[in-house]
C-alpha cells in the first residue's frame, strides 16, 4: 500500500501543471476527512489535494491492466435511492479499479420497500463488514444523518437539492485541466439552478478556488436566497455570454418541477438554450459543459454538445479519476483514525 501511495504522490509532484499551480501556502498536506459530504466546508488546500490526487490516478485508465491495489479487501456499497447511470457506474468502476469489492443496493428491491428506515438499512449493511458507503438520496442532509449513524466512510453521490460533490469536483477538475489556475475564471451556470445540487457544489468549489460564478436562469428557476450566495445573477444569457470562459449548462429537471416554470420548452430554448447561433457570441475557446443527461434541443443543441468546445465526454472520463481519488482519500483517513484510536487505547 505504501508503494502505491508513493507512486501516486510522485505522479502529482511530476505533473508540470500541478507544479505551476502549487498552492503558495502548501506544505506536506494530509487528508483527514473520512467522509465527503459536500464542498461547502472544504478549504482551498483540501480541494487542491483532491484534484492533485485525481491527476495521479488518471493514468490507471490507460494501462493494459486497469487495476491498483489501494482498496484491496475493502467493501464499497452503492446505496442509491434514486435512479442513476453515470454516477453509479462511475463509482462502481472507480471502486473496482482500486480492487475493492462492490455491493450494489437498489431501494426498489430492498427492505426499504417494506418500510425499513435509512438508518436501519445502513446499520444492517455495516453489520456485514462494509467500509465505504456511496449514497444518493432524495432528501437533503441524508448523508449527514448517515455519517452520525455508522462508522463506515460516507461519500455523498447527491442528496436532494443540497450537493453533489463529486460532480462538482469533476467539473472543476476539467476546468483546471484545460485552464490551470482558476483564479478569475468566469463561469456561467445556466438553467435549472433551483433544483440543481450540481450547481451548489460547483458554486462552493469554484468560489473557494477563486473563480467568478454567474448564475443564469429565469427567475422561476433561481433558488430562494440566491442573493446570499457568492455569485452574480443574470436573467439575460445573451448579455453575459461573451464574457464567460466556461458555460456549464444544467438539465431542466422536469421530474422535480411541480408546476409550469416557463411558458414552453420552445421559449426556454430560445432564451436560455445554448444554440449554434448563440455560440457565435461566445469566446472562441469557451469551455462548454453539461453534467448529463442532456435534453438535446432544450438546454443545448446537438451541434454544440458534440462540437469542438464541448467537454461532456471528458467530464465523464475525468469523473472516474476524481471518484477514485475520493474513495482512496476517505479510506486513507479512516485507516489513520483507527490507527490513532488504537494508540490511544494502549
Q: Which residues contact 22 (CB under 8 A, 6 or more apart)?
A: none
Work out whether the CA dihedral 122, 161, 286, 301 comes out positive or negative. Answer: positive
The verdict on whether 114 is a catalytic residue reads yes
DSSP state of 253: -
Known active-site residue 49: no
Residue 202 CB contacts under 8 Å (≥ 6 apart), including other chains: 168, 171, 172, 187, 189, 213, 248
Q: What is the strand order of the sheet 246-249 is part of? A: 232-234, 212-216, 186-190, 246-249, 287-289
Active-site residue identified among 33, 44, 86, 296:
86
SS3 at position 301: coil
Which residue among the candidates 35, 74, 87, 290 is catalytic per the annotation?
A: 87
- Number of residues assigned to the chain: 346
Give the span between the Cα atoms of 184 and 236, in whole angstroms: 21
Contacts of 229 (CB under 8 A, 6+ apart): 203, 215
Preceding omega of 293 cis (within 30 degrees of 0):
yes
Residue of 114, 148, 284, 343 with catalytic role: 114
Catalytic residue among 74, 88, 97, 164: 164
- Record the cell numbers describing residue 31, joined without a space: 487528508
Annotated active-site residue in 49, 74, 88, 136: 136
For residue 47, give every residue at least 6 positions away whose Cβ sits within 8 Å of its Cβ, in sequence order, or none.
39, 169, 172, 205, 208, 209
* 86 is an active site residue: yes
User: Position of cell 458507503?
Assistant: 133
> Is residue 85 annotated as part of the catalytic site, yes or no?
no
Q: Which helix (H) or strand (E) holds 38?
A: none
Q: How far is CA 158 from CA 92, 164, 255, 293, in A?
A: 15, 4, 15, 15
Q: Which residues are designated catalytic?
A: 86-87, 114, 136, 164
Amino acid at each position: 500500500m505504501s508503494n502505491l501511495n508513493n507512486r501516486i504522490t510522485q505522479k502529482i509532484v511530476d505533473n508540470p501543471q500541478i507544479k505551476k499551480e502549487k498552492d503558495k501556502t502548501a506544505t506536506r498536506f494530509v487528508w483527514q476527512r473520512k467522509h465527503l459530504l459536500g464542498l461547502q466546508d472544504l478549504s482551498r488546500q483540501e480541494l487542491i489535494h483532491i484534484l492533485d490526487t485525481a491527476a495521479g490516478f488518471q493514468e490507471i485508465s490507460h494501462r493494459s491492466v486497469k487495476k491498483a491495489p489501494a482498496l484491496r479487501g475493502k467493501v464499497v456499497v452503492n446505496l442509491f435511492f434514486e435512479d442513476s447511470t453515470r454516477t453509479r457506474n462511475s463509482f462502481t468502476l472507480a471502486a473496482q479499479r482500486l480492487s475493492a469489492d462492490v455491493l450494489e443496493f437498489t431501494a426498489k428491491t430492498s427492505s426499504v420497500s417494506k418500510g425499513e428506515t435509512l438508518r436501519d438499512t445502513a446499520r444492517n449493511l455495516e453489520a456485514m463488514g462494509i467500509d465505504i458507503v456511496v449514497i444518493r438520496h432524495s432528501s437533503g442532509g441524508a448523508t449527514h444523518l448517515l455519517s452520525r449513524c455508522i462508522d463506515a466512510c460516507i461519500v455523498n453521490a447527491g442528496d436532494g437539492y443540497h450537493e453533489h460533490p463529486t460532480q462538482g469536483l469533476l467539473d472543476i477538475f476539467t476546468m483546471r485541466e484545460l485552464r490551470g489556475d482558476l483564479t478569475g475564471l468566469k463561469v456561467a451556470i445556466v438553467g435549472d439552478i433551483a433544483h440543481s445540487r450540481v450547481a451548489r457544489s460547483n458554486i462552493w468549489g469554484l468560489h473557494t478556488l477563486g473563480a467568478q460564478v454567474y448564475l443564469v436562469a429565469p427567475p422561476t428557476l433561481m433558488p430562494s436566497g440566491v442573493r446570499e450566495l457568492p455569485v452574480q445573477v443574470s436573467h439575460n444569457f445573451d448579455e453575459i455570454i461573451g464574457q464567460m470562459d466556461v458555460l456549464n449548462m444544467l438539465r431542466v429537471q422536469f421530474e422535480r418541477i411541480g408546476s409550469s416554470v416557463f411558458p414552453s420548452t420552445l421559449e426556454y430554448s430560445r432564451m436560455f438554450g445554448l444554440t449554434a447561433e448563440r455560440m457565435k457570441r461566445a469566446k472562441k475557446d469557451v469551455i462548454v459543459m453539461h453534467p448529463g443527461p442532456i435534453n438535446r434541443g432544450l438546454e443545448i443543441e446537438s451541434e454544440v454538445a458534440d462540437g469542438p468546445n464541448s467537454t461532456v465526454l471528458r467530464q465523464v472520463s475525468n469523473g472516474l479519476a476524481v471518484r477514485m481519488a475520493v474513495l482512496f482519500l476517505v479510506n486513507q483517513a479512516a485507516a489513520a483514525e483507527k490507527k490513532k484510536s488504537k494508540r490511544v487505547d494502549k
